[in-house]
Amino acid sequence: MIAQLNWLKAKLNSPEFAALRTLTDVAVQKSGLPYRWLATDATIRITANSNEARMLARHGLDMPRRTVDLP
C-alpha cells in the first residue's frame, strides 16, 4: 500500500495533475489526512499501536477502514 501511495504522490506532483493536487492540499487543511485506505478485504488487521500503523502514519496514510467518511 505504501508503494501505491508513493506512486500517487509522485503523480500528483506532475503538472498534468495540478488541479487534483490543489484538492489534496485543501483536504490536508481540513482533516490533516488526505490519503485514506479503504480496506475491502476483511483479512486486513492492523492494530492502532503496531509497527505497521506507525509506518502508515509516517507516510501520511490513515489506518485501513471498512468505511470512509469524506469531509
What digits encode the pLDDT tens for the residues 10-51? 999 999 999 999 988 888 888 777 888 888 887 888 888 999
pTM of the model: 0.74
pLDDT at 16: 94
Cα–Cα dist 51/9, whole Å: 22
Does a structural domain hold residue 71?
no
pLDDT at 51: 94
Between the CA of residue 32 and those of 43, 62, 71, what are the distances in Å? 27, 10, 11
At residue 43, what is the residue type? T
Domain of 57?
2-65
Q: Total structural domains in the chain?
A: 1
DSSP assignment of 10-60 equals: HHHTSGGGHHHHHHHHHHHHHHS--EEEE--STT----TTSHHHHHHHHTT
Does a structural domain hold residue 70?
no
Q: Measured on CA atoms in the order 14, 35, 4, 51, is the torsion positive or negative?
A: positive
